[in-house]
Structure 1
Amino acid sequence: MKIADLNLELKRIRIVNKIMKVVPISEDFISRTRGLVEVSSGNGKKRNFMLQHLHMSFKFLLRGIQRMIESYSLPNKKLTPHMFRHTFCKWMLKATNNDIEKVRRLAGHSNIATTSRYLKDSYSDLADAVEALPKF
């Protein structure tokens, strides 16, 4: 990700991997990144130093995040970045009342069958559904 990929006014971020996608970002994300964007749009020696430092930081950020996540693993259960993606999809399905098309687009899946894997209910989801049955 580059600073130029953020559009705080339109609340969007451009993600470039296999294909380019534009996804919405939350107010919380905007407030947490505003300082970073302001530094990048400044001028002079301080801006150049900060951008050079940020570029070097971003270079190692992905592997650093992966190592940090793995460091929280339990001895018998490895924690991976993909688990966060899985959790995002599950929570987003719940937040959108199982609107699989919205979640497909937010997750960047080209095929809805990929997203449908996250529809599998957990035991607690099934128990909640049983409890929600109307009483006769």
Structure 2
Amino acid sequence: MKHDVLEPRFIKAVPRDLEPGVLYVSMEYGTVVHSCCCGCGFEVVTPLTPTDWRLTFDGEGVSLWPSVGSWYLPCQSHYVIEDNRVWEAGPWSKARIEAELSRDKRAKTKFYSRSDTTIEPSDAPIDAPASRSSEVRLTGLVVRLRRWFF
């Protein structure tokens, strides 16, 4: 990885030009954006939704879960962002990528077709940490995102 530490910046809107090594966090839009940590220069967007990524901030460090897999980029880089640090993760096979994309599609379909607003533990992303709550409630931001996408 060319960038092994990211500087978190909490912003309202994502800038047109991304600075390498900066993790842009827009809570208003529920989105985290950064220039790919491998150094290829491509933009990586990680939406913060009940079926996508989760962000934690402890006052100093930002972490994203699950890992960031740039499967649609030429570099196909894969890494974890934990406490502002970037940890390179192993490459995934084409079959594993396809399985994850399929799981993600099923999770979104199931979540957004429900009349209630919870995710059961079985809907958690693969490799989810054991400490994660078994139930996630929709927030105003997610409701707005849901209306925008659907």
Query: Shorter-chain TM-score: which interval?
Result: under 0.3
Larger radius of gyration: 1
Higher relative contact order (CA 8 A, sep 6+): 2
- TM-score, length of structure 1 as denominator length: 0.27
As a proportion of its length, which structure holds more strand?
Answer: 2
- TM-score, length of structure 2 as denominator length: 0.26
